Amino acid sequence: MTARRLLAAITFLLFSLSNVSFASGEGEWHDPTEGKAFFPWVWDDQLKPTIVKGFDEKGARIIVGGLMASAAAGTQDDKVFEYTQHHTIMSDSWEQLGGYLGSGSPGVILAISQLWWDQPGGLQTFRAMLLTTVTHVTLAASINRQRPTGDRGWSWPSGHTSNAFAIATSMAYSYGPWVGTASYGVATFIAASRISAQVHWLSDVVAAAALGIYWGRASALVTDSQKQNTTMIYPVPIDGGLLVQFSKDF
């Protein structure tokens, strides 16, 4: 299958997912704000908890490890760029596919579809994407590193790659290792396509991967904390009477 055909198939699949709930009649929308004003809900219930929960010991290790890995990769930036000038890593069509997949549009479509068949998962993906994008834009604009070809800035970190790894991490937390492995495979392909297209240095995509993983994990922690506790009370027959038993899910 060519890259263009694969692109068309992926686009069709994403749009199909966003409408499958309506077509099957199984989708049911629940207002996640529960009547709360939208913008206070976005900050108080979605973004602020993600920022707070993400900055723990493990989150700090992800950031520090990502910075160290990016610095190490930076020593090989010139060699990798020179290699791409004399060797073809992937064709133009595959590079374009990677650019499209990391552009944000497929992620938004995926998150919208999740809102109908897995609302907590959809909100989780949106939080991860939004905070990753804000962080990327802030860092890229502040540092304004030149691209390998020198035509423009905003190189470090890679926005496409950070977005891809944020989504992959969110999917891994939501649906387990099999989906996570496939999602990380797609994210790695996107990162490689940015290097192949000579629009990012190796160190750009390494830092971006850590950034995406950080916010994807942080968003998943919020989902875990917002799961409603359920309590069940039911009688258990015993000799001479009944025993009332409590069961609580956390």
In the prediction, which pLDDT does 249 show?
Answer: 45
In the prediction, which pLDDT does 7 show?
Answer: 52
Q: What is the mean pLDDT of residues 99-127?
A: 95
Residue 217 within a domain:
yes
Residue 205 within a domain:
yes
Question: Domain range for residue 146?
Answer: 41-249
Residue 34 within a domain:
no
pLDDT tens string 165-194: 999 999 999 999 999 999 999 999 999 999
The overall average pLDDT reported for the chain is 86
- Non-local (6+) Cβ contacts of 186 within 8 A are 101, 164, 168
Count CB neighbours of 173 within 10 A. Answer: 20
- Non-local (6+) Cβ contacts of 51 within 8 A are 131, 218
Residue 126 within a domain:
yes
CATH number at residue 55: 1.20.144
31 band by pLDDT with thresholds 50, 70 and 90: confident
Residue 20 within a domain:
no
Residue 156 within a domain:
yes
Check pLDDT > 90 for residue 127: yes
Query: What stretch of H or E contains 70?
Result: helix 57-74
Separation of alpha carbons 193 and 67, rounded Å: 21
This prediction has a pTM of 0.83
- Non-local (6+) Cβ contacts of 184 within 8 A are 165, 168, 172
pLDDT tens string 70-92: 999 999 999 999 999 999 999 99
What domain count does the chain have? 1
- Non-local (6+) Cβ contacts of 128 within 8 A are 50, 166, 167, 169, 170, 212, 215, 216, 218, 219, 220
Residue carrying structure tokens 């009944």: 242
In the prediction, which pLDDT does 162 show?
Answer: 98
